[in-house]
Structures are given as structure tokens and as C-alpha cells.
Structure 1
Amino acid sequence: MDLPPGFRFHPTDEEIIIHYLVKKVLDRRFSARAIEEADLNKCEPWDLIKKEKMGEKEWFFCKKDRKYTSGMRTNRATESGYWKATGKDKEIYKGKKCLVGMKKTLVFYTGRAPKGEKTNWVMHEYRLEGSFCSCLGKKF
């Protein structure tokens, strides 16, 4: 990727939701030069480094995988471990009043639950929430 020396990609949570995630959800062909596509259930966290574009923090679009085809539970397992949600989801607002998304923190554990071993790998998962369309002032 041709970016000028010193370029850093440090979007706020609000910018991630509004300028990237909404556009990706509404247009599957949308691509952002700083965000790669990856299947996080088929990649171990240490393998994701090979796909990185920015060097400091890695950013990926990934479709949510369901544990069961008819259920709502999310599958976050890989071959060698699993991503476990930790803490409380953070609400993301446009301005101060309009809820547009949520941010979940996940920690990678090797092995299988409930006896997995915690690692230092951390990931933040963003999802759309609320009436983001009306908040953005657009009709989709």
C-alpha cells in the first residue's frame, strides 16, 4: 500500500462505525485501504500479523460466524483456541445523543473452554446498534 511516511490510522470509535462499518454493511464492495478482510475463525491471532497493512494496529472486516445455523450464538473459535468476551460493551454515539454502535472487547484463550489459557491477544469488535440511519441523516 502506498502511503506517505509517518501515516497513522487512528480513527475514533465513532469514525470506525460511521465512516467504515456502515459503508461496509450497506455496500459489500466497499473497501478501505487501511482495513483488510479476514475470517477470524480461520486465522490464529499470530497469523493475522501477516495480513496487516498499518504496522501498529491491525484492522479487519469480518463476517460474524454463527455457532449454530439456526441460532444467534456467535462462533469465536479457531483451531487452537477461542476469543472470549470480557467486560461490558461500550456504547458508541454520534455526537452525544445518537447511539450508532457498540464495542466489545475480546481476549484470546488457547485450548478449549472452560480450561483455556489466557493470552495477551486482545481484539475489539464493533457492531451497528440503534437507529444509525436516522442518526446519520440518510435514508438507506
Structure 2
Amino acid sequence: MVCPTTRQRSVPEDYRFCPTEQKLVGHYLRHKLMDPDDSICKTIPEIDVWEREPWEIPKLAAVAFPEMEEDDRECYFFRKCGYGARFNRKTRAGSWKVTGEDKVIKARDTENVIGKMKILVYHATCAPGRTIQRNCADEGLAERVLRGGTGPDWKWVIHEYHYVADDVKIPPGNGTYVVCKLIKKEADFSVLSKKHYLSNKDTIDSLIEHYLKKKG
């Protein structure tokens, strides 16, 4: 799903959407929670990410962001959550798994905690021989998925932001939203064999630690 109002958005040719975490949570997500139909929807699209594979999302986001190229390494979108429900992060060919600890987001002016950020990594879990829709931008992952390969693929990472301040009340049954930043990140397996990487938990943990340090 892509919010239809995003299609009419008009911005300068040199415009790039690069909000701070505080702005993303304290402004955009807060307004989305207060009124899902707010004009804020013209800035960030709404996408059902679990209905798509990660390599399909940039193309959907590009519909909302005419200045964005489909091969851009970052894009933003809202995701609707079921109220009080356990989130199912499975896609057709894999799943998104939370890694590391939540990061606290504080307002710059007051230092009050307004949100938290979770890191999700895409894991390919497709059964051998299963056919999935894909494009040429991610043939390496697609081939591994079709062979039944499993384990995290560090090309695709989501930063999932939640609003936690208590100044926004969401009526029961209405559901809620998170705002996500999808990152296409090149993995560095130069010192590791793929077999070792896919089977060794210590190696996976070290890659997680390396990624978090680079983002730090």
C-alpha cells in the first residue's frame, strides 16, 4: 500500500529528504499518530512492508518521492501496526529479525525520551525451489533464496522508530504506526566464507557488532 496523496507531492529538483531522528519521531511520526490523514502523508508514504521483499520497497517509495532514484540506498515510509497485536515480520521469501538493543531517542530541546529505534535485518528463509518475484538489482540474494539459503543478508536493514511519549492517545482498535528507514547496505564478507557466515552464530554476532559500531 502506498498513500495515494503522496503522488501529488511537488518538491524542488535538488530536494533530498534527510530528517534527523528527533524530527522523524517528534514531528512526522507524532503527527501521523495524531491524525493518520494529516497532510504529513504527503511527505512520507505508507507501505505494507511485510507484503513486499526489501528490494521491492525502494520502487514503491520512489512513487512518492519523484526526486528519489530506485537504486538510492535509503528511503522512508510509515507502517501501520495492529493495536496490541504481536507483529508478524515475515515476507514471502524471508523475514525481518530484530537485532541489538533498542536505541533511545530524546528531544533535543528537553532531553525527554520521545521514541525508540529498533534495528531489523532481513533473513532469507525461502524453501529450495520456490519462485519469488525480484528484480535484477538483487540477483545475488534472489539466487541464494531460491537455493534455500538462510541467515541474515546485510544488504537490507530497517531502522524502525516508535513513538513512546505519553502525549498522544490512540483509541483502542485504531491501530498505530511506526516510521521506518530502509537502508541498502553492502556486506563485507572478504574474510569469511559464506558457509561459515551462514552457520556460525558467533560470526553473525560479530557482524552485528561491526554494523552497530559503524552506525554509532
TM-score calculated relative to the size of structure 1:
0.80
1:77 equivalent to 2:90? Answer yes
Percent identity for Structure 1 against Structure 2? 34
| Cross-structure match for 2:76 | 59
Q: Is the 8 A contact 1:93 1:100 kept in 2?
A: yes
Structure 1 residue 129 displacement after superposition: 1.1
Q: What is the letter of the counterpart of residue 29 of structure 1? A: D
Using a 3 Å threshold, how does the CA distance of structure 1 residues 61 and 48 change in structure 2: closer, same or farther? same
Structure 1 residue 84 displacement after superposition: 0.7
Matches within 5 A, 1:39-54: 39-52=48-61, 53=65, 54=68
Larger radius of gyration: 2
- Identify which of 3, 6, 23 aligns with 2:11: 3
Structure 1 residue 80 displacement after superposition: 0.6
Root-mean-square deviation (CA), in Å? 2.1
Aligned positions, number: 127
Bigger proportion of residues as strand: 1
Matches within 5 A, 1:1-140: 1-30=9-38, 31-52=40-61, 53=65, 54-55=68-69, 56=72, 57-65=74-82, 72-95=85-108, 97-111=111-125, 116-119=150-153, 120-132=155-167
Gaps of 5+ in 2: 1-8, 127-148, 169-216
Q: RCO higher in 1 or 2 (8 Å CA, sep ≥ 6)?
A: 2
Distance in 1, matches of 2:81 and 2:158, equals 14
Deviation per CA, 1:98-134, whole angstroms, max 9, x where unpaired? Answer: 000001111111106xx8321110111010113355x
Bigger proportion of residues as helix: 2
Q: Is the 8 A contact 1:86 1:106 kept in 2?
A: yes
Distance in 1, matches of 2:42 and 2:86, equals 31
TM-score calculated relative to the size of structure 2:
0.54
